[in-house]
Structure 1
Amino acid sequence: MHAFNLQPKTLTLAERLADLAVDALIDEADLSPKPALVDRRGNGAHTDLHLGLMHASALSLWPAFKEMAQAAIEFGEVGLQLREVLGRIGREGEQTMLVTTNGVNTHRGAIWALGLLVAAAALEPESSGASSVTLRAARLALLDDRYAPHPLSHGAQVAQRYGARGAREEAQLGFPSVLQRALPQLKRSRAAGHGEQNARLDALLAIMTQLSDTCVLYRAGEHGLHTMQLGAQSVLDAGGSASLAGRRRLHELDQQLIALNASPGGAADLLAACLFIDRIESADGINQGAF
């Protein structure tokens, strides 16, 4: 067939949700200047990551997100069987990611968060409000996957040591860092005319002000965590990333966290979750292909 005769394909709901999940990961990676995180400027506090690798990792997860959404559509309700299928798909997606990145953990936490949210959105596409989607995701997260391996990840080790809430608990509580901090800040900054990139940076900072980020705790302990939380709040107090004073504080925070080797990867995963929820919430109805 001649290329000019090709017609645009109508995407299924599962494909559209997978597109949105990957878009959220790429948007998060591209957002700049993020403190101590990989972005368009460089590698932040990382020696094994770069922007191209983050993009490749995100794209490699598209089939897993599509399969998760399709499983939710087929099961049609929250239940243990769906939860365990999602767990299997997530583990397979993680292996694909690791092959793509030559063993570097780029998006393990994001697979968990976005996988739950993709499935939750697919379960009831006519109910795409943030609180509804996160509630369904929480109900899934609370179910115990009998087939999940139980080696302690770095995040789980840190959560135990410091009593911090890890990615699992964040999901089980319905993503409070997204619902109570990131989304409201995103909308406030947009309403103030700060521009989309600055609004997204402010949303990330809002997450960082309160999150017990296990990535930071693992790399820099409680001192690193306090530096992150206080520094993020100081940027917002100075007027946010759209203000000159806020930008100066943001640069200072970036330098402080890099010096501590403290990269807020947990906050980055939750920003991707925020961007995903924001996109489906702003659509007229994901079942109608509004986005």
Structure 2
Amino acid sequence: MNAALKWQSQPRRESDAEQIGQLASLCLKLEVATYPKPGLVSHLDNGAHADMDAALLYLSADTLAPFFGDLAAAGAEGAGMNRLRAIGVAAERAMMAATSGVNTHRGAIFGLGLLCAAAGYRGALGIRKSLGELVSQRWGDAILSGPVSLRSHGSVAARSHGAGGARAEAAGGFRSVYDIALPALYAARTLAPHDEEAVRVQTCMTLIAEVTDTNLLHRGGAEGLRFAQASASAFLATGGVGSFRWRERAADIHRAFVARNLSPGGSADLLAMALFIDRMER
């Protein structure tokens, strides 16, 4: 699997939009190929999820690649939010068909999909603004004023606990990615310069510690969120992946999350987005 997860330049005959779509799919796979991530599915176990495993998530990521490419192409053509939303709906239907109804990547379709559209737009115009800034400027108002999924777990948790959720995150230019995830990712590379999996673990722990993850609120309420944030914060405070036997400590936290049925799916999506932005903007 490691060879399949290496980003390589594609032949020139493959369009820029297709390359962007493949990269987005790769970043979803890299998130899966990371252990230990508290409560989340990885290539080693299913975390707190009884309905999915790594193979299903890889299948989902492959299914979504062409739709991410379509979003990049639409962005390059200056598409508005209605067109992007239609592609996203088609992507979700294809995902659900491939996974027999399991919601593997609904949040990623939204967030990572918008970043793909911004990448296509930026490439077509040759501008140097960040992808998050472009999402906010181009589609921010339409994101906030568009239809809301009243039944999604994230939407219910956001309304119940007053959290901003994925819509506010995207409309604001993905501040959690730019202000939390990317700085953590860059700093982690000094702690573990030859271990990108460790870098991803450190970034994920930082996101769990600092983000109001609506998936955690859905599964564990405010108490579950506090437990998750405190556990990740304690890991980071004692050196994170730069400390002795960090993998054992991270695995202990993972098992504690599983015992409480906690899964920080929002942080997982933000990690994949950070990996995508890192490669697109580096």
Give the TM-score normalised by structure 2.
Answer: 0.90
In structure 1, the partner of 2:117 is 119
> Could you tell me how far apart the structure 1 residues matched to 2:98 and 2:16 are?
26
Pairwise CA distance, 1:248:
3.7
> Could you tell me how far apart the structure 2 residues matched to 1:166 and 1:18 are?
24
Q: Pairwise mapping of residues 169-248 of structure 1 onto structure 2 (< 5 A)?
A: 169-194=168-193, 195-248=195-248
Pairwise CA distance, 1:213:
0.8
In structure 2, the partner of 1:262 is 262
> Could you tell me how far apart the structure 2 residues matched to 1:143 and 1:116 are?
12
Can you list the C-alpha shifts for 1:54-107, whole angstroms capped at 9, x where unaligned? Answer: 0000010012111111111112xxxxx511100000011000000000000000
Pairwise CA distance, 1:40:
1.5
> Could you tell me how far apart the structure 2 residues matched to 1:179 and 1:210 are?
13
In structure 2, the partner of 1:91 is 89
Q: Quick one: which amino acid aligns to residue 160 of structure 2?
A: R
In the alignment, does 2:169 pair up with 1:160? no
Structure 1 unpaired stretches of 5+: 1-6, 76-80, 283-291
> Could you tell me how far apart the structure 2 residues matched to 1:105 and 1:92 are?
14
Label 1:193 to 1:256 Cα distance change in 2 as closer, same or farther (>3 A).
closer
- Kindly report structure 1 stretches of 4+ aligned residues shifted beyond 6 Å: none
- Any idea what SS the aligned residue of 1:61 has? helix
State the number of aligned residues: 269
Pairwise CA distance, 1:190:
0.7
> Could you tell me how far apart the structure 1 residues matched to 2:38 and 2:145 are?
38
Q: Quick one: which amino acid aligns to residue 220 of structure 2?
A: A
Pairwise CA distance, 1:152:
3.1
> Could you tell me how far apart the structure 2 residues matched to 1:214 and 1:89 are?
24
Pairwise CA distance, 1:146:
7.8
In structure 2, the partner of 1:287 is none
> Could you tell me how far apart the structure 2 residues matched to 1:193 and 1:250 are?
15
In structure 1, the partner of 2:103 is 105
Pairwise CA distance, 1:142:
2.7
Q: Quick one: which amino acid aligns to residue 216 of structure 2?
A: V
In structure 1, the partner of 2:141 is 142
In structure 2, the partner of 1:18 is 21
- 236-245 or 100-109, which moves further after superposition? 236-245
Label 1:230 to 1:146 Cα distance change in 2 as closer, same or farther (>3 A).
closer
> Could you tell me how far apart the structure 2 residues matched to 1:260 and 1:226 are?
12
> Could you tell me how far apart the structure 2 residues matched to 1:141 and 1:65 are?
19
In the alignment, does 2:39 pair up with 1:36? yes
> Could you tell me how far apart the structure 1 residues matched to 2:85 and 2:57 are?
22
In the alignment, does 2:53 pair up with 1:55? no
Q: Is the 8 A contact 2:34 2:42 kept in 1?
A: yes
Structure 2 unpaired stretches of 5+: 1-9
Q: Quick one: which amino acid aligns to residue 204 of structure 1?
A: C
Q: Is the 8 A contact 2:63 2:94 kept in 1?
A: yes
> Could you tell me how far apart the structure 2 residues matched to 1:110 and 1:242 are?
29
Q: Which has the larger radius of gyration?
A: 1
Percent identity over paired residues:
39
Q: Pairwise mapping of residues 276-287 of structure 1 onto structure 2 (< 5 A)?
A: 276-282=276-282
> Could you tell me how far apart the structure 2 residues matched to 1:263 and 1:104 are?
15
